[in-house]
Amino acid sequence: MKRVLLPTLVLLGVASAANFAGFAIKPYGDQKVNLATGVTTLPKGGVATDAKQGVTVDAKFIEFKEGDYLAATTAKLVTKDGGTLTGDKLDYRVRSGNLTATGNLKYDDENVKGLTAQSMTIDATKKIGVAVGGVRSATPAMNADRVVVDYENNRAVMYGNYRYSFGGTRLASAKPDATLLVTWNGQGRPSVTSRPTAQQLAPYQAYLK
């Protein structure tokens, strides 16, 4: 009796699109599906769009496993609110629903320009980005251990050993738990307070740990 060996790798054509955890994925080339592991690879990259959360990822390489993760390299993430995050690596975990970028990352939106950090995580549901590790931005000039960007409500929280400069305003604190709240008005001009209320910080407490 002959044994029938099933292929563990299936090559899908260029026209084959895929869906993953709310993302519609359009490949730039062929897709490779490993039937043994359930991992799909897009060697030439592609575009992953989550219309519900308003997030699009364009990458030169994408790998994903349904119900588990999506990993992309040389990636650019764009939110419907106009935020742009680029990085060498981007990782999405289904369980948390967050996207994390690392490696030569840069973030820009209508208020924050040229923000860099060791890593940045986007919570697309709450429209919040959390930058960690040597965080810096060009405009306004911000330096801190951690910066939480609320790109829907035009706010940012600088946390730990911060320095801030914009126009004639310059503030700094070397305390590891120092907090500075930045709020942009309708004209895109920031105002700051080093004594935010508990109510103002409440939406961001989970991101300051």
Residue range 125-136, pLDDT digits in tens: 899 999 999 999
Question: Does residue 62 register a pLDDT over 70?
Answer: yes
The answer to whether position 139 is within a domain reads yes
> For residue 7, which phi and psi values (nearest 5 degrees)?
-65, 140
Q: How many domains does the chain have?
A: 1
Residues 6+ apart with CB under 8 A from 36: 8
Q: What is the DSSP string of 119-178?
A: EEEEETTTTEEEEEEEEEETBTEEEEEEEEEETTTTEEEEESSEEEEETTEEEEE--TT-
Query: pLDDT tens digits for 76-119?
Result: 999 888 899 999 999 998 888 899 999 999 999 999 999 999 99
The answer to whether position 9 is within a domain reads no
Kindly state the DSSP code that residue 13 receives in the 8-state scheme: P
The answer to whether position 126 is within a domain reads yes
Query: pLDDT tens digits for 147-186?
Result: 999 999 999 999 999 999 999 999 999 999 999 999 999 8
Q: Which domain holds residue 135?
A: 105-209
**What is the percent of the chain where pLDDT is above 90?**
73
Bridge pairing between strands 55-65 and 46-50: antiparallel
Question: How far is the C-alpha of 83 from the C-alpha of 181, rounded, in Å?
Answer: 20
**What pLDDT is attached to residue 160?**
96
CB atoms within 10 A of CB 52: 10
What pLDDT band is residue 11 in, cutting at 50, 70 and 90? low
Sign (positive or negative) of CA dihedral 197, 149, 209, 50:
positive
pTM metric for this prediction: 0.87
Closest among 105, 75, 57 to 20, alpha carbons compared: 57
Q: Pick left, alpha or beta for residue 63 (phi over 0 → left; psi -120 to 50 → alpha; otherwise beta).
A: beta
The answer to whether position 1 is within a domain reads no
The answer to whether position 207 is within a domain reads yes
